Amino acid sequence: MINFNIMIEMFVVASVAIGVLGSYLTLNKIWTRKSDKNVAKSVSIFAAILGIFSTIPFLIKYGLIDAEYKGAVKALVSIIVGVVFLLIGSGYWVRNRKKPESLWSKFKKAMKLEKQEAGDLVKALLMPSGANKMLNILRQLALIDNRIDEKEFAFIDMFAKSWNIPFERSDLNTVRKDHSTEAGYIELRFSVTDYLNIEPPVEQSAHLRDVLNALAKADKKISEEEKFVLNEINATLDSYANNQTDQVQFEVVIAPQSGDQEDLIKSILPNLILSSNSGGKGYVVGSFYSFEFAKMVCKKYRSLNLFTAVESIELNEKNIELSS
């Protein structure tokens, strides 16, 4: 038993020695950079203060009450390290060439900066990924039937405030360059695709689906336009949530018949790439889950006298369903 106590005592002494050495190595690493402004900003003064105050009771207990000097030494070293980090974080050794500042002024400035950074962290934790994209999708759905209801605005405003995103009534009155309802459908559908491209959490995409359907019901009436576009959007979000990449889809393909049509396609859809398919070469405008939606997109480009077709995609096989 005596041998065991001696061994534990040796381990305690070794632990104190290792703690002192570790503290020295930590301080030695940062000491040469203590006057660097960026290094000062990287040190949390709040963490240093918490470390100091949480260690003081141990110093009092071990040093004054229990006379356990090994524990007191370790606590004292921790406090010294905390004080040094506090001074570094407050910018004590950072020189201001323009205007000399007192330690208290530097300390207050460092605390203000850290509060701001802490606020940014909380904001990031509370704001879902792609919040701006989600808000834009809500706005576009509210505009899909070309009428704005106060309940719809209040619904969207609730989310904007919870995400701390500036949002005004006038944001719902944004006019599209193309005033057609079809343009609104396509714009909304591509916004959903853009949102899914950031690969949001599956649970979040499912919540967005519920929110969009709730928004459509906010004015107690679901318009035909909302029904039409939600049929496509719901299928898109469901496919993402269920990872159903082999689900039946429909591609809208434009096949230019002349150089002038090539130029027209490049002017209105500059990001499309010419690709080969079962019917030859063409530009894939997009893939859709609803045949009616794909047909609507097809007709939009057919109205520009472009040869356009809808192809069904199933098990990597393509079959032309509608052509011009």
Q: Would you say 246 and 287 are in contact if contact means Cβ atoms under 8 Å apart?
A: no
Of 210, 242, 274, the last residue of a domain is 242
Say if residues 292 and 228 touch (Cβ distance below 8 Å).
Answer: yes
Structure token digits, residue 151: 């309940």
Dihedral pair phi/psi, residue 271, rounded to 5°: -90, -5
Which stretch of 2-16, 45-59, 118-132, 250-264 has the lowest confidence by average pLDDT?
118-132
Q: Answer left, alpha or beta for residue 316, where phi above 0 means left and psi between -120 and 50 means alpha.
A: left
Let me know whether 82 and 109 are in one domain: yes
Q: Residues 114, 136: one domain?
A: no
User: Same structural domain for residues 262 and 295?
Assistant: yes
- Domain check: are 171 and 228 in the same one? yes
| Residue of higher predicted confidence among 133 and 21 | 133
User: What CATH number corresponds to the domain at position 272?
Assistant: 3.30.70
Q: For 50-54, 201-205, 282-286, 315-319, which range has the lowest pLDDT when averaged over its residues? A: 315-319
pLDDT band for position 164 (cuts 50, 70, 90): confident
CB-CB contact of 52 with 79 (8 Å): yes
The band of 315, judged by pLDDT with boundaries at 50, 70 and 90, is very low
Confidence of residue 233 (pLDDT cuts 50, 70, 90): very high
Check pLDDT > 80 for residue 98. no
Q: Are residues 24 and 66 in the same domain?
A: yes
Same domain membership, residue 138 and residue 119 = no
Please check whether residues 138 and 219 belong to one and the same domain.
yes
Q: What is the pLDDT of residue 324?
A: 41
Is 257 in the same domain as 275? yes
- Residue 30 contacts residue 42 (beta carbons within 8 Å): no
Q: What domain range includes position 229?
A: 131-242
Contact 152, 139 (CB under 8 A): no
The tally of domains found in the chain comes to 3
pLDDT greater than 80 at residue 111? no
Q: Residue 319's pLDDT band (boundaries 50, 70, 90)?
A: very low
Do 46 and 105 lie in one domain? The reply is yes
CA dihedral over 49, 54, 60, 63, signed as positive or negative: negative
Residue 165: pLDDT band by 50, 70, 90 thresholds? confident
- Please name the amino acid found at residue 227: K
271 & 171 share domain: no
Which of 89, 124, 159 delimits the end of a domain? 124
Contacts of 61-65 spanning 24+ positions with Cβ under 8 A: none
Of 245, 240, 250, residue with least CA distance to 209? 240
- Domain end (from 76, 106, 124): 124
Same domain, 156 and 98: no
